[in-house]
């Protein structure tokens, strides 16, 4: 892992890095690194999207460290011909009002197969900087990548997930026993309510909480981010 | 409303009162009353059960005032022959493993018909002490009484509810549009999962949140109380 930049402001140190050809960012409190939370960004977004920098800011303010990678085909990484094809299919489905779920599930499953080993290599390197228990926080595509990552990775001890279809993830969720906080939108126009409930139900975790809010797919309330930070404080502790 | 006692400790003033033959408690911050949250206690409990004093302590620490009444047939109030009969039926069902839901729904419906006008009279009097917006917080029997109270009472602007069967409450819930935070237990051995979800679904509130936690009926996590206080802070404000 090579650090390529370092900036510091308002009690937060931001370091960009590359690991092989995967770029990422590590945020730590100026006062010293607290427990690490891995952030998985959403589809079409990237490592420094406001949703990521916002969550990193909340985490660091609570004493945590946070790290994010650009997912395959996202951010500063090249898109393959397959990436281009799948993105075009998604955009076409959105434009015509066809269900986008089957395309997203397939494409994000492919992305997860590429992303999980990248995250595991990054975690090996990040643990030199930030030892101790690790959390994972990602919704939408962040959950499509997070569920197989958590199932494969015993170092992850708690996860905030949500807003994804069940079919490709249920069997993996049944293998997961760490504490889970799972967000869904009660009136999601893309993910059927029964599907979201089925994915939450599948986790074998003795401690799991579903937060279902009225509203459509993109209307997840801001206060759920603060809730996720409290969830990590309960399960990972803070310095 | 007659105040019958007043004690003060740790920034909290506790005043017991009677309104007609209904006894209650009003808690306010020593620094002066913040927005009022009405507390509905659970079946078989009473106005000074630890669940009530605990919630009152959290509310007052956050700047709110809190008030509770003994429900009909509970606490310091006499039980009628009907109360005795219904309680005996519930205990028998619990002992034999029969479903307790049909008995609780009928009995709590009767209690609510008696309790709602008592709460409305109490609110008239309490608003002289604590003017401004009002919240309601009650699970189990506190929801059986709370849903008809909220449907009847425009002064209540936000409510934390949960853990009750749908059949007697769904039609009233459809009339309710204030913000709701609703708790259920995912593995409740008394209230079927589909029934709890149906009651949450029935609220017409544009802002509503379901918190479903793994575990049985009595295993509602402690952190849900702090969550309810934050919910009231969002919707009622604090001084």
Q: DSSP letters along B145-167, please?
A: HHHHHHHH-TTEEEEEEE---ST
pLDDT along chain A (239 residues), means of 10: 96 97 97 96 96 97 97 96 95 94 96 98 97 96 98 98 97 98 97 98 98 98 97 91
Per-residue confidence (pLDDT) for residue A104, from 0 to 100? 96
Q: Which residues does chain A have within 8 Å of residue B197's beta carbon, measured at their own beta carbons?
A: 197
User: What percent of chain B is predicted at pLDDT more than 90?
Assistant: 99
Other beta carbons within 10 angstroms of residue A97's beta carbon come to 8
pLDDT (tens digit per residue) in A182-192: 999 999 999 99
pLDDT (tens digit per residue) in A207-228: 999 999 999 999 999 999 999 9
What is the distance in angstroms between the Cα of B169 and the nearest Cα belonging to chain A? 19
Chain B interface disruption, residue of A186, A204, A209, A233, most B CBs within 10 A: A209
Whether residue B239 has pLDDT greater than 80:
no
Using the Cβ of A48 and the Cβ atoms of chain B, whether some distance falls under 8 Å is answered with no
DSSP-derived secondary structure for A117-136: HHHHHHHHHHHHHS-S-EEE
CA separation for the pair A32, B213 (Å, rounded): 34
- Strand pairing partners for B65? B36
Other beta carbons within 10 angstroms of residue A60's beta carbon come to 24
Average pLDDT over residues B81-88: 95
> What residue segments make up the domains of chain B, in order of their start?
2-236
Q: Hey, what are A168's tokens?
A: 């490709």
CA quadruple A127, A133, A139, A141: dihedral, nearest 10: 40
- Quote ipTM for the complex: 0.95
**B205/A186 Cβ within 8 A:** no
Q: Which of B205, B214, B223 is the closest to A234 by Cβ?
A: B223
What is the distance in angstroms between the Cα of B147 and the nearest Cα belonging to chain A? 19
Q: Which residues does chain B have within 8 Å of residue A211's beta carbon, measured at their own beta carbons?
A: 209-211
Contacts of A14 (CB under 8 A, 6+ apart): A5, A6, A7, A8, A25, A26, A27
**B206/A200 Cβ within 8 A:** no
Using the Cβ of A227 and the Cβ atoms of chain B, whether some distance falls under 8 Å is answered with yes
Q: Confidence class of residue B238 from pLDDT cuts 50, 70 and 90?
A: confident
pLDDT (tens digit per residue) in B186-237: 999 999 999 999 999 999 999 999 999 999 999 999 999 999 999 999 999 9
Query: Locate tokens 């909290």: which residue?
Result: B12
Using the Cβ of A3 and the Cβ atoms of chain B, whether some distance falls under 8 Å is answered with no
CATH 3.40.50.1820 for domain A2-236, yes or no, is yes
pLDDT (tens digit per residue) in B13-31: 999 999 999 999 999 999 9
Per-residue confidence (pLDDT) for residue A239, from 0 to 100? 65
């Amino acid at each position: 892992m090579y650090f390529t930049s370092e900036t510091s402001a308002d009690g937060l140190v931001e370091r960009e890095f590359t690991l092989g050809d995967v770029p990422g960012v590590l945020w730590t409190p100026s006062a010293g690194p607290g427990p690490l939370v891995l952030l998985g960004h959403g589809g079409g977004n990237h490592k420094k999207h406001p949703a990521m920098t916002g969550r990193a800011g909340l985490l660091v303010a609570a004493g945590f460290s946070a790290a994010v990678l650009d997912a395959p085909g996202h951010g500063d990484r090249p898109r393959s011909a397959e990436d281009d094809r799948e993105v075009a299919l998604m955009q076409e489905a959105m434009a015509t009002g066809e269900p986008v779920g089957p395309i997203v599930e397939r494409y994000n499953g492919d992305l997860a197969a590429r992303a999980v080993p990248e995250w595991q290599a990054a975690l090996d390197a990040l643990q030199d900087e930030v030892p101790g228990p690790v959390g994972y926080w990602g919704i939408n595509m962040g959950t499509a990548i997070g569920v197989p990552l958590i199932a494969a990775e015993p170092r992850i001890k708690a996860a905030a997930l949500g807003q994804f279809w069940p079919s490709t993830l249920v069997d993996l969720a049944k293998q997961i026993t760490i504490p889970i906080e799972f967000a869904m939108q009660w009136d999601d126009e893309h993910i059927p309510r029964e599907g979201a409930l089925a994915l939450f139900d599948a986790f074998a975790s003795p401690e799991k909480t579903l937060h279902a809010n009225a509203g459509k797919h993109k209307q997840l309330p801001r206060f759920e981010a603060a809730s996720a930070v409290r969830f990590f404080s309960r399960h990972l502790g803070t310095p």
